[in-house]
Amino acid sequence: KEEVRAGGTLTIQPLSAEGTVEAKNLPLERYSPYYQNILLARISGVLKAGGNFSFRDGAVRFSEVSASLVKLEAKKGDRVFFSAPDTSLSGAAVDTSRQTVTVSSFVTTGGAASVNLTRNGKPDIFPLVADGKPEESGASTAGKPWTVFVRTAEVKNYSLQGEDRTPEEPVKLSVEQLRLTCQNISTEKGRLSPFSLSFLLNGKGTVSLQGEAGWNPLAGRILFDLKEIPINPFQSYFTDL
């Protein structure tokens, strides 16, 4: 049963409010009219979320936010290309005046993805987002970018199945037992975040990476360890040389 609760206090002069809000058992598919013109995929799952809120001096703030999303699925047509049975975050906060988003912990477990590369090298699930047409205006909309910080993030026991169809003979890829852990992820310029990544490749080989990486700009210091990687599945890459 869907349930939304909110409570708190409201002051008229000066205008301010604070309180708590909680939502339970919200089916994402039911709210598709709000995003169906943006996302070109059908999303289903059940959301539970809650936290504190406040409004003061024109700024909206959320704190101590937690959320869980179960039975998440993403489809294009009848094909499920991504699923995640259990995803959660905790200790989140949003401050519109400072334009910051912080998350203490993000965890997702048991997910699976299926993506193929077409002959032109593009993922066959694209496009996922509708093309937006910028409005014509003489005024610039550029401003201070938002800063996002995640203290810890974990991706556990994920799998990926796919096929690279760019070579003459397609290459099948299988990733299992994928585990990724990251710390102190930030969108701040020049910030590097510690991480470790490991997975089983094509049922035999093991791949392990660890180090630091960042994307503003893209940079990193990474150590990797490859063991028992089967070469035969990748023969097409050498044949086309």
| Whole-number pLDDT of residue 215 | 85
Question: What span, in angstroms and rounded, lies between the C-alpha atoms of 142 and 178?
Answer: 38
Q: What is the DSSP letter of 149?
A: E
pLDDT higher for 134 or 169? 169
Q: Are 85 and 70 in contact (CB under 8 A)?
A: yes
Q: What integer is the mean pLDDT of 34-52?
A: 94
- Tell me the per-residue pLDDT of 52-86, one tens digit each, with 9 for 90 and over: 999 999 899 999 999 999 999 999 989 999 999 99
Q: What is the pTM of this model?
A: 0.89
Q: Which residues contact 102 (CB under 8 A, 6 or more apart)?
A: 91, 92, 93, 148, 149, 150, 151
| Whole-number pLDDT of residue 228 | 93
CB atoms within 10 A of CB 9: 9
Question: What span, in angstroms and rounded, lies between the C-alpha atoms of 167 and 116?
Answer: 12
- Is it the case that residue 136 has pLDDT exceeding 70? no
- In the three-class reduction of DSSP (H, G, I as helix; E, B as strand; rest coil), residue 199 is classed as strand
- Tell me the per-residue pLDDT of 177-232, one tens digit each, with 9 for 90 and over: 999 999 999 999 999 999 999 999 999 899 999 999 998 889 999 999 999 998 88
Q: What is the dihedral of CA 102, 105, 107, 113, to 10 degrees?
A: 20
- Is it the case that residue 138 has pLDDT exceeding 70? no
Q: What angle is formed at CA 51 by the lines to CA 44 and CA 84, rounded to 5 degrees?
A: 25
Which token pair is 29? 């598919």
Q: How confident is the model at residue 140 (pLDDT cuts 50, 70, 90)?
A: very low
- Tell me the per-residue pLDDT of 8-33, one tens digit each, with 9 for 90 and over: 999 998 999 999 999 999 999 999 99
